[in-house]
């Protein structure tokens, strides 16, 4: 891992993205991964103008987004993704397919966990912005949108994904998308629907206690300090940051993919990880009622 970037603090949470250098265990993405595919009726996975009636954004959203330069929108299962005009449709559509596959892994057009979707749809608590101008975003656009929309934006920005290409998202860009989407689902979906298991607002949930048990033994976020291993700068000590980062790496690796970056001391293969995890956490992830990521993403929803 070459370092981390830290998203600003807000009253809701911290979200951290590691600069990703890893890769997926299945084959790298190709242009075929981004080929248009017909979604089940009612599932939106293709970007449209944010002012289009087809997006069905909540009242006031389209005007606010467009004024901030976010002109392209897509709402897979009602989860709002809005992108800067400079973001190619292939990137927006791929993010939408990932969201749709997490919501509907059996690809029948029905959300597997309506309770989780209820917390995430229509910007109730979270949305996914895809900005392309880092200076503009960091100079106040991000904060202004959160205040105007009343929803927390977990961003998937160009400056994390890398330069846009005609072939669509590469392996690195896919890793960025997956990490941020998993963060959104954990913090504002599963964490709210099942707080005793997946909550990240304190240290009482199953995944929070697992994070604490691993802390400084086989997990260290590089922005936190451990005995003999000082922080590399920053602060990810709050549960909403530390737990979210730890759990994302756990669930992605257990699903058969390689996280884009690994915390200090974190196992580098699924077999080693499995030996370190508690039976309680493994049971929580494997419980079908919790609808956690348990197999590699296809990136081709709904094919």
Residue pair 290/194 in contact (Cβ under 8 Å)? The answer is: yes
Does residue 13 sit within a domain?
yes
Does residue 133 sit within a domain?
yes
Does residue 267 sit within a domain?
yes
Nearest to 85 by CA among 29, 19, 136: 136
pLDDT tens-place string over residues 152-171 = 999 999 999 999 999 999 99
Does residue 187 sit within a domain?
yes
**What span, in angstroms and rounded, lies between the C-alpha atoms of 18 and 6?**
8
Does residue 83 sit within a domain?
yes
Q: At what angle do helices 279-286 and 206-214 cross, to 10 degrees?
A: 140
Q: What is the DSSP letter of 208?
A: H
Q: What is the pLDDT of residue 190?
A: 98
Q: Is the pLDDT of residue 192 over 60?
A: yes
> Integer distance in angstroms from the first to the last C-alpha of the chain?
33
pLDDT tens-place string over residues 123-147 = 999 999 999 999 999 999 999 999 9
Q: Is the pLDDT of residue 188 over 70?
A: yes
Give the pLDDT band (50/70/90) at residue 35. Answer: low
* Better-scored residue on pLDDT, 106 or 31: 106
Whether the CA torsion 230, 263, 178, 60 is positive or negative: it is negative
Residue pair 241/16 in contact (Cβ under 8 Å)? The answer is: yes
Does residue 224 sit within a domain?
yes
Q: Model's pTM, two decimal places?
A: 0.86
> What is the residue range of 155's domain?
4-290
Diameter of the chain by CA atoms? 57
pLDDT tens-place string over residues 94-121 = 999 999 999 999 999 999 999 999 999 9
**Average pLDDT of every residue of the chain:** 88
Domain count, the chain: 1
């Amino acid at each position: 891992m070459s370092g981390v970037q830290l998203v600003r603090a807000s009253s809701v949470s911290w979200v951290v993205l590691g600069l990703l250098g890893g890769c997926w265990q299945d084959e790298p993405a190709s242009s075929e991964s981004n080929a248009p595919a017909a979604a089940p009726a009612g599932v939106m996975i293709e970007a449209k103008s944010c002012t289009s009636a087809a997006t069905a954004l909540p009242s006031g959203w389209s005007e606010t987004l467009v004024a901030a330069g976010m002109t392209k929108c897509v709402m897979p299962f009602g989860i709002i993704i809005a992108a800067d005009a400079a973001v190619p449709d292939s990137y927006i559509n791929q993010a939408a397919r990932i969201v749709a596959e997490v919501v509907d892994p059996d690809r029948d057009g029905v959300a597997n966990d309506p309770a989780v979707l209820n917390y995430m749809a229509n910007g109730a608590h979270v949305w996914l912005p895809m900005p392309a101008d880092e200076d503009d975003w960091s100079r106040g656009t991000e904060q202004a949108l959160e205040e105007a929309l009343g929803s927390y934006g977990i961003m998937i920005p160009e400056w994390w994904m890398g330069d846009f290409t005609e072939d669509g998202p590469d392996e690195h860009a896919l890793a960025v998308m997956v990490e941020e989407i998993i963060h959104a689902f954990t913090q504002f979906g599963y964490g709210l629907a099942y707080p005793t298991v997946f909550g990240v607002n304190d240290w009482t949930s199953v995944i929070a206690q697992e994070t604490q048990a691993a802390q400084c033994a086989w997990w260290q976020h590089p922005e936190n300090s451990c005995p003999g291993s000082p922080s590399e700068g920053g602060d990810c000590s709050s549960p909403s940051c530390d737990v979210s980062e730890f759990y994302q790496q756990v669930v992605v690796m257990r699903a058969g993919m390689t996280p884009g970056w690994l915390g200090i001391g974190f196992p580098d293969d699924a077999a080693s990880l499995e030996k370190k995890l508690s039976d309680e956490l493994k049971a929580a992830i494997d419980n079908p009622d919790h609808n956690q990521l348990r197999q590699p993403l296809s990136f081709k929803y709904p094919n």
